[in-house]
Structure 1
C-alpha cells in the first residue's frame, strides 16, 4: 500500500487563514504524513495549532522567532522512528503497520542563509543512508538545482547551486519531477523553484504535485 506525503512551506501557522487552507488541502489529499515548514510559531502556541490539525502523532524542530521550524505529523497506522533532529531537517524511518520494510524520509527546510545552508549538504551526507535503502527527501531547500529553476533576476544565478548539485550526485539522488506550475516562490518578476522531492535512484514509482506558494504531495 502506498504512503502519501504532504509538504508545505506555510509561511506562518498562526492565522485562521492558514488553518482554513490547510484543512481544505488535507481533505482533498488525505495524506498519511504531513510536513509543514516555516510555521513561525513555537512552544505552547505550536502545540495548540498541531492538536487542532487532528493528526495523532507529531514531532518538530522549533522555529526560532520567525525563522525556520519543521513540523512532522503522521497517522497511527505508521510507525516513525526519529533518527536525527537538525535545525534544517528531520530524518526518520517510516514503516506501515504489518509491513517489514521501512523508508528513510527526510523533511527539509534549508536556511535562506547560504553559509548556514552549507551545513545542510554536509550533514545530510553524514546520515549515511545505504544505496539499497529507499530514501525520500522533500521540502523547501532554499536553493535551485538546475538552470531552468529560476526565471528573471540576475543572469549569474541562473545555473543552479553547485553545492546542491554536488550533494545530489554524491548521495545518488534523482529529482522526481512534478505536475502543476513549475515555480514555487515569487517576488516581483523573479520566480524560483525552491521546493522539490528527491529519491534514491533504486526507489519505485511515485509522483509529486506543487504550484507557486503551494504544497507538494508525494505518494510512494
Structure 2
C-alpha cells in the first residue's frame, strides 16, 4: 500500500505539477491527498487527468488560501464519508476482497487561535473500532524547533526574454559570471565597433559551451535530488529539514528553468494554448523554427532559386516595384468620370 500526502502550495506553479507527476510515477500511490491547492475544482480535474488518476474530490479554496483534494486510483473502492474545508474522510476498500479502512486527509487551521477547533474536529472523525484509520495531512503544528523556518524564495520573480538569449539562464548565478568574464576578456581598442562585435561573439561562444555542459548534468542532478529526498523521507527522524528544503529548492529551480525555456520558444502559443511542457508543446516550438526558414523561391520568370542571395534579391525587387509608381499618364478622364463628394459650399 502506498499513499502520498503533499502540501502543494498553489497549483499555479507549473513546475510543481511536474514534480508531483514525477513523484506519483516513482511511488505509484493509490491515494493522493493535496493541501493548500489554492485552486477551484476544475483546476484540480486538470491535475487529476495529468496524473492519470481515476477519481477526484476537491474542496475549493477561499480566495487565494486553503483548498484540499483527494485523488485515487480505480483499483480501490473509495467512498467519501464526510468533508469540511479542513478535512476529507473516505472509506477505502483495497480491491474486491481486500481490507477495508478509513482515510482522513486533514489540514489544521493556519491560525493558532483556531487550532483547538481543528483538534476537536479530528477527535470527532475517529472511526469506531476495530476499523483501521489512517490520518495524514498538514496539521500546522511544529514538533521540532528546527522546523520553524521560512519558505524557499520563488525563483521566478524577475524573468526577462530577449533575442536568442535564453531567459531561463537568468536563474543561474554562473550565467552572470560567464558574461562578465567574457566581456572583460577583450579590451576596448581603437576600432570600437569591431571590439564590441568580438565581445558579443566571445559571450555567445562562452554561453553556448556552458549551456551544453548544463544540459549534460541537469538530468542527473534532478534524479539524484529526488532519490535523496525519498531517502530522507523514509529514514529521517526530524533533523533533516534543512537538507530537504535545499534539495526541494534545487528541483524546483530546475523545473522552472525548463518551463521558462519552452515558454520563450513557443512565444504566443504559450498564452493562447496554456500548455505545460508536453510533447505537443515541444513540437510547437520546434515547428516554429522550421517554418521560419525559406529553402527555395520561384522568381517572376518561373526559375526556382535556392541561394540565399538570390532569394533576397527577389524579395527586394518585389517590394521595390510594389511601392514604386509606374508614372501613369492621361488619367484626368478617369477622375472626371467620378462623382465629387464635395459640395459647392464645401469647396468655397
Question: What range describes the TM-score normalised by the shorter chain of this pair?
Answer: 0.5 to 0.7
Which position in structure 2 is the counterpart of 1:77?
75
SS across alignment from 1:118 = helix
Q: Which deviations, in whole Å up to 9, do the C-alpha atoms of 1:60-117 show, x marking residues without a partner? A: 1211122111111000011111111111111111111122531111101112112332
Separation in 2, partners of 1:88, 1:40: 13
- Tell me if the contact between 1:183 and 1:212 (Cα under 8 Å) persists in the aligned partners: no
Query: Hey, what's the Cα distance between the residues in 2 that align with 1:152 and 1:100?
Result: 38
* TM-score normalised to structure 1 length: 0.65
Counterpart among 18, 26, 29 of residue 27 in structure 2 = 29
CA drift at 1:151: 2.4
Match among 151, 159, 180 for residue 146 of structure 2: 151
**Alpha carbons of structure 1 residues 185 and 85: separation in structure 2 relative to 1, 3 Å:** farther
Distance 1:56 1:117, change over 3 A: same
The match for 1:67 is 65
Instruction: Pick the aligned partner of 2:112 from 111, 114, 120.
Output: 114
- The 1:152/1:212 distance shift into structure 2, 3 A limit, reads closer
Shift in Å, 1:39:
1.0
More RCO (CA 8 Å, sep 6+): 1
Q: Which residue of 1 aligns with 2:47?
A: 49
Offset of 1:150 from its aligned partner? 1.8
Unaligned runs of 5+ in 2: 149-232, 249-348
The more displaced of 47-56 and 12-21 is 47-56
Range with greater deviation from structure 2 (22-31 or 91-100): 91-100
Q: 2:238 aligns with which of 150, 171, 182?
A: 182
Answer whether contact 2:44 2:58 (CA < 8 A) is retained.
no
- Could you say if the C-alpha distance between residues 185 and 62 of structure 1 is closer, same or farther in structure 2, counting changes exceeding 3 Å? farther
Higher helix share: 2
Q: Give SS of 1:151's match.
A: helix
Change (3 A) 1:43 1:76: closer
Q: Is the counterpart of residue 138 in structure 1 residue 194 in structure 2? A: no
Measured in 2, the distance between the counterparts of 1:183 and 1:114 equals 24
Shift in alpha-carbon separation, 1:13–1:185, aligned structure 2, 3 A: farther
Q: Secondary structure at the match of 1:103?
A: strand
Q: Contact (CA 8 Å) 2:57, 2:69: kept in 1 or not?
A: yes
Name the CA distance, whole Å, in 2 between partners of 1:92 and 1:45.
22
Higher strand share: 1
Unaligned runs of 5+ in 1: 154-176, 192-210, 215-220
Structure label with greater radius of gyration: 2
Q: 1:152 to 1:72 in 2, by over 3 A?
A: closer
Tell me by how many angstroms 1:45 deviates.
Answer: 2.7
Q: 1:184 to 1:87 in 2, by over 3 A?
A: farther
Residues in 2 aligned to 1:32 and 1:39: alpha-carbon distance in whole angstroms? 19
